[in-house]
Amino acid sequence: MARGDVPEARRGVDGGTLDGAARPPTFGKAHEPRPPGLRGAAPATRAVPPPPFPTTAMPATLTIRDETASGAVSHEFSLDFLTEEITVRELIERRVYEEVQLYNASAPGYFRGLVQPVDAEATLDGYRMRAGRQIDWEAQRDGALRAFRKNGFFVIVGDRQVESLDERIRLELDTEVTFLKLVPLVGG
């Protein structure tokens, strides 16, 4: 009897063994034995080409925190990303887009965003908006990118300050990003 063969008397109903020992490997249809040349060898594998787009095992959640120069946290929320890396520019754009969409969907009267919209009044609760006014996210994005270039705020990822809009950020589970605001930021 060859190695891996199980005597007929010791086989279970499903082809397994009654004593829990491993049954011979099968190919294709149930109970079809391996071809003789492959007995005992691992099945051949085909190389699978990588996907044409970046992937990650699971989305990364960034905790976004706005802080003042004194260290007070003025606002905190989360953003999910489906890629392993983003640039600082992409982070700022996504943050601004999400906060503008949230405001425009509900128009609560106060905008809690990175950059103060034009014609808005700064208050302790955010930026007071005129009733019914929608915010242009692209104008807000442009104002935020301009403010970053002029050091109107700093971006700190984990414990490291990023300095360029093109700098890449590796996303990991529960990455914390702090936007340290130095002065009120007027944008779009």
| Cβ–Cβ under 8 Å, residues 85 and 66 | no
Domain count, the chain: 2
- Residue 118 inside a domain? The answer is yes
Task: Please check whether residues 7 and 81 belong to one and the same domain.
Answer: no
Predicted pLDDT at 63: 93
Domain that holds residue 7: 1-43
Predicted pLDDT at 108: 78
Residue 112: CATH number of its domain: 3.10.20
Predicted pLDDT at 91: 96
- Residue 119 inside a domain? The answer is yes
Task: Please check whether residues 74 and 10 belong to one and the same domain.
Answer: no
| Rounded CA Rg of the chain | 29
Query: Which tokens hold the place of 80?
Result: 């999910």
Of 88, 89, 87, 82, nearest to 58 by C-alpha is 82
Could you list the beta-strand ranges (E) of the chain: 60-68, 73-81, 85-87, 110-111, 121-123, 126-128, 153-157, 160-162, 168-170, 175-181
Query: Which tokens hold the place of 143?
Result: 């104002």
Rounded to the nearest angstrom, the gap between the alpha carbon of residue 38 and the centroid of all alpha carbons in its chain is 43
- Residue 68 inside a domain? The answer is yes
Instruction: Using DSSP, state whether 123 is helix, strand or coil.
Output: strand
| Cβ–Cβ under 8 Å, residues 183 and 152 | yes
- The residues near 183 (Cβ < 8 Å, ≥ 6 apart) are 152
Task: Please check whether residues 102 and 77 belong to one and the same domain.
Answer: yes
pTM of the model: 0.65
Over the chain (188 residues), the average pLDDT of each successive run of 10 is 51 48 45 50 54 59 90 89 92 94 83 82 76 85 94 94 96 89 60
Predicted pLDDT at 178: 96
3-state secondary structure string across 87-116: EHHHHHHHHHHHHHHHHHHHCCCEECCCCE
